[in-house]
Amino acid sequence: MSEAHSEQLLAQVAALPHLPGVYRYFDAAGNVLYVGKARDLRKRVSNYFQKNHGGTRIGHMIGRIARLETTVVRSEAEALLLENNLIKTLNPRYNILFRDDKSYPYLKITGAPDKVNLAAQPASMFPRVAYYRGAVDRKHRYFGPYPSAWAVKESIQLLQKVFRLRTCEDTVFANRTRPCLLYQIKRCSGPCVNLVAPEDYRHDVESAEAFLRGDTQSVLANLESRMMAHAERLEFEQAAELRNQMGALSRVLHQQSVETSSENSDKDVDILAVKVQGGKACVNLAMVRGGRHLGDRAYFPSHIEDAAAVQDFDDIADAAPPQPVEVQVLEAFIAQHYLGVPVPPALITSVAVGRELIEALSQQSGVRITAVHNPREQRRIWLEMADKNAEIQLARLLAEEGSQQARTRALVEALDLAPDNIDTFRIECFDISHTAGEATQASCVVFHHHKMQNSEYRRYNINDITPGDDYAAMRQVLTRRYSKLAEAGRDPPDATPQQEPELPQAGTAEAAPQAKTSHRMPDLVLVDGGKGQVSMAREVFAELGLDLSLIVGVEKGEGRKVGLEELVFADGRHKASLARDSAALMLVAQIRDEAHRFAITGMRAARAKVRVGGSKLEEIPGVGPKKRASLLQRFGGIRGVAAASVDDIAKADGISRELAEEIYRALR
């Protein structure tokens, strides 16, 4: 195998030190193949290049290695942490990788951790409880992380019921003159209108924090002592309030299905169960915080089989017994997941994990962490719950993937196609959306590997056409999408998708940075429309010299009813009608509907942006709502008004020559 590698690479391998470190393999295109750690860099890395590994998975990887990078560290623990940092950053092909783009939510209590500032502004005197997602700081108190937004909101509701803490924004708080509905239904103590003393509210905040930490008995004892003190001073109303608070807290504790042991470590626990089947894996993470079971979340790693082959190769080289795949998956999850998330002091795992990993986590977090894989009593119940949920989630994933594969195969057979590989069968679907010609947008959605690939979706702003001309819009988007590939005359292996103008939408997957992906001619081009749109697509493909058989139109059936769609072909074949329960038709409808959704959301965002711009007109003296509406209707939006001449503006209803000149100057 070493004969296939450059002398420079082999010399670099021979010169590696006998020290712990992390190594990275790259292919000729600069893509990261594998990130590994080693107690002895030279011994580990040189083992890859000592013999021919044939057509095995490890052999395929080694044959692609063109470049090597290494980093020497002080200890094996440092190597483990650096390895998983790089895995999350570089996304190597032959490592187990867990993707989680979502940050975890927290419950936040505003203000300094140890006191309420009685000399501060009124809103600062009364901390608020809120849902929070993002980076934490020392200005506020954070509890969590929680597995879901639902778990945070449920906890906030409990705090409102028992401790009646406010949830309103400071701006709302500062402008209240009477208590809100939450006060009326006994979910807030009304600090905004001074219905609770700052000192009493501070006690409630402290009790809420203790409750979230799991110190429920101390909270009840504190409430009882305060109640008795009020009673001794004959302050029966205050004593009754505390009695009611104790009753509410007792009911909440009674409703919690999980009864924790007296061990302090059981107040904050993570339960981790792993299942592997059919080349797929699921790790189910359940969280216990403050002694309350907050729910769970399932994670599905990628690259399982390739990574397991490399790991087995390393274990054999180190004369160590091969690790079960479940252990490899769970250790990869623990190492990657807790890089950016606080680690609780106790981990309950369905399989035993390495001591080195737990020690490295303890070293990184500064908290002594214990891991137990054969728990008893309540911990066993937690683990059995997590294990069952992992099994259910993995079965669901396998069922969904099997269903999608069946749909892809059914479509290939229905259209009499012969792709080289059904797993890489690629479909691109186009749709046009606008409102009476305003803010015309075209969408392109992509389907391959049996699922929609939203990172490869594109939106195209359509310009320089007659408003409402869907055929011209389709011509433009297809020309822009495929002209470069047609000019190249072949499929570029590592080209990135064309970056077309698109409107970002905050908080959606579409707004995320577009990842590099292979842009090649699809195996099928779906057009949302009948004969007219297919004819336009045929003209474009004929001009570009592309295969007409790729084009299929999705024509709505009689009465535009779902399930009665017909397929229209550009190469002269007769229309095809698929059975209503056909898996092929279900897939076509799924892709068509996704293209429509993606197009219409983009169009609405563009239209809203244009119409919001219309407020600039109302800022011009003499232009009221009626004149603004008249101008926007005549010119199709604020851009049209801005592009119009003084004479054209003056022709709008109600617009004088002088006002037209004023509008012209204001918009320029």
Structure confidence at residue 390 (pLDDT): 93
Between CA 398 and CA 403 the distance in angstroms is 8
Structure confidence at residue 423 (pLDDT): 84
CATH architecture of 264-311+320-394: 2-Layer Sandwich (3.30)
Structure confidence at residue 262 (pLDDT): 41
Ranges of CATH 3.30.420.340 domains, the chain: 422-609
Give the ranges where 137-282 is alpha helix by DSSP (H).
149-163, 170-174, 181-184, 198-213, 216-232, 236-255
Give the ranges where 614-652 is alpha helix by DSSP (H).
615-618, 625-635, 638-643, 646-650
Residue 45's nearest CA partner among 54, 53, 35, 55 is 35
Structure confidence at residue 493 (pLDDT): 43
Ranges of CATH 3.40.1440.10 domains, the chain: 2-90
Amino acid type, 124: S
Under-50 pLDDT residues of the chain: 1, 113, 115-120, 254-265, 490-518, 610-614
Q: Both tokens of residue 376?
A: 């008893």
Reported pTM = 0.62
Task: Give me the residues paired with residue 277 across strands.
Answer: 280
Task: Give me the residues paired with residue 129 across strands.
Answer: 109
Phi, psi (5° rounding) for residue 524? -155, 135
In 59-204, where do the E strands start and end? 67-72, 105-109, 129-133, 141-143
Reduced to 3 states (helix: H, G, I; strand: E, B; else coil), residue 268 is: strand
Between CA 470 and CA 484 the distance in angstroms is 23
Q: Which CATH number fits domain 422-609: 3.30.70.260, 3.30.420.340, 3.40.640.10, 3.40.50.970?
A: 3.30.420.340
Ranges of CATH 1.10.150.20 domains, the chain: 614-666
Structure confidence at residue 186 (pLDDT): 85
Q: How far is CA 601 from CA 125, 154, 324, 440, 613, in A?
A: 43, 31, 46, 11, 18
Reduced to 3 states (helix: H, G, I; strand: E, B; else coil), residue 564 is: coil
Q: Which fold has domain 2-90?
A: GIY-YIG endonuclease (3.40.1440)
Q: Which fold has domain 614-666?
A: DNA polymerase; domain 1 (1.10.150)
